[in-house]
Amino acid sequence: MAFTVTMMSWSVLEYGGQMQAAGELGNALEAIKWGTDYFVKAHPEPSVLYGEVGDGDTDHFCWQRPEEMTTSRQAYRLDPQRPGSDLAGETAAAMAAASLVFRRSNPGYANLLLQHSKQMFDFADKFRGRYDASIPVARKYYQSVSGYSDELLWAAAWLFQATDDRRYLDYLANNADAMGGTGWSTAMFSWDIKYAGVQVLAAKILLQGRAGAHAAVLQRYRQKADFFVCASLGKQGYGNVKRTPGGLLYHMQWNNLQYVTSGSFLLAAYSDSLAAARQAAVWCPAGPASPAQIMAFAKSQVDYILGSNPRATSYMVGYGFIYPLEAHHRGASIVSFQSNPSFVACKAGYAIWYPRKGSNPNLLDGAIVGGPDENDNFVDDRNNYQQTEAPTYNNAPFMGVLARLAAGGRLDRSIPDGLDNQTSVAPSLSAAGDQGVHASPIVIEQNATASWTEKGRTYRRYAVTVTNRSLNKTVHELFLGIDKLYGPVTGLDKKRYGHVLQGTAPSVPAGGSVTFEYAHAAPPANVWVTGYKLV
């Protein structure tokens, strides 16, 4: 929910002028305020945040309309004894971004949001911990896999945008290594992992000439933002995002479109920041990507979602000729309370409405579902929740990119009434400063240690050595990407964002190395660093 509000706010800050021209700005502001009003109520004390109401297990046990839910509404809170830096940090980011949205139209409310944001950030930073350790009922459904460092950086970046207070920029720069801001190279951006968003925001600050003494560190952030672009456009060489045969970015089976909508927004926003700063291109290993090319690729992903795909199916409910009719959504799948107020009991919904064949009785107009699989296949079935579920965080970033594309080449950088999007741009950076490369302290070496022939195929065992060449800092939370691997791996575990070293708290000390092995009947696999923290 907090990520949804942050992304709606960022969408308005970047493209509020386009929304106003389309007559939709008022709807966007109303949606944001609905969320921030709730956050204000959920934050009754500086170091208290109510993070969840109800729990996934009991809520999933019933299939009911929201008007007549009978499941537990127990509230779970975060406080100094039960910290949750990731959830508090994201909520701080949401309120800081929203304060910018309301700065002119409702300054009193904007100041209230900013006060809450500052308190929430201080709470998140002082009392550190993962929210799903303090609210364990959340772990099964929304596990904090990336931890809380990305949210702390994300909140600091938004607070700098909202306040121009250099202490937040200092925080972003001084914690770049220790919190992974300049160590993560990823093309995934979601409610859980914020690094790419932080990197694009930091790059924007740099391009606007607001980095001050931290220009060198923000340049390293920008290099990671460039990685996001290159990997998304297939120009990175390693770590490129896979695509379906129809051209859709494909990250994972369950709700893949969440990464496509958020990624499309980041590409659009970064493209416009580059163009405004008169930057010619992002320089990728496989060739440059101009702002126009970046925007064109973002448009291709939006077009796919809206129906330009092998199935000619729109994945936005209610849009186009063919779209999902059986979204996995309780309110949409049960007859309207206004039409039939007869009570639908907990299990009755599962017995009568959930297995019902045919279209949902209520159209979930505008919702973006999880989308197709890696082969562009899609099964429109209420029970197929991995493809037909429609979370709010699918839609939030799509608001912005749709507004941008609706404007075509006519990007209105004026500030509509009630908004202050801080888009003043400094002159272009020098070519040398723009393209400088900061070497990673991590070096990867592969060697074949054995070979054998089996059933006419030659197999090789490879030893991969990962070395930390830092003089005095330890590598923590190392994530590795592996591609073109066709056999078993020993010494690593597979996680959502890559492979990690085995052990309870694996790390690589300064000058130290770790080794893992794999075997297959193929040339060496591609191995690269996805993310790390350097402390």
Amino acid 380 reads D
Paired strand residues for 458: 453
Question: What three-state secondary structure class fits 158?
Answer: helix
Choice among 43, 214, 251, 328 that is catalytic: 328
Distance (Å, whole) CA 506 – CA 274:
38
Please provide the size of the chain in residues. Answer: 535
* Three-state SS at 483: strand
Phi, psi at 236, each rounded to 5°: -85, -30
Please identify which residue in the block is written with the tokens 């064949």.
357
> Angle between the 392-406 and 2-21 helix axes, to the nearest 10 degrees?
20
Q: At what angle do helices 195-207 and 257-276 cross, to 10 degrees?
A: 10
Distance of alpha carbon 75 from alpha carbon 431, whole angstroms: 53
Q: Given CA atoms 470, 476, 482, 486 in this order, what sign does their dihedral have?
A: positive
Q: For 219, left (φ over 0), alpha (ψ -120 to 50), or beta?
A: alpha
Residue 328 catalytic? yes
The answer to whether residues 257 and 370 touch, using CB atoms and an 8 Å cutoff, is yes
Element (H, E) at 415: none
Contacts of 63 by beta carbon, 8 Å cutoff, 6+ apart: 330, 333, 334, 346, 347, 349, 350, 353, 354
Neighbouring-strand partners of residue 451: 460
Rounded to a whole number of angstroms, the distance between the first and last alpha carbons of the chain is 31
Nearest alpha carbon to residue 55 among 168, 157, 139 = 139
The catalytic site residues sit at 328
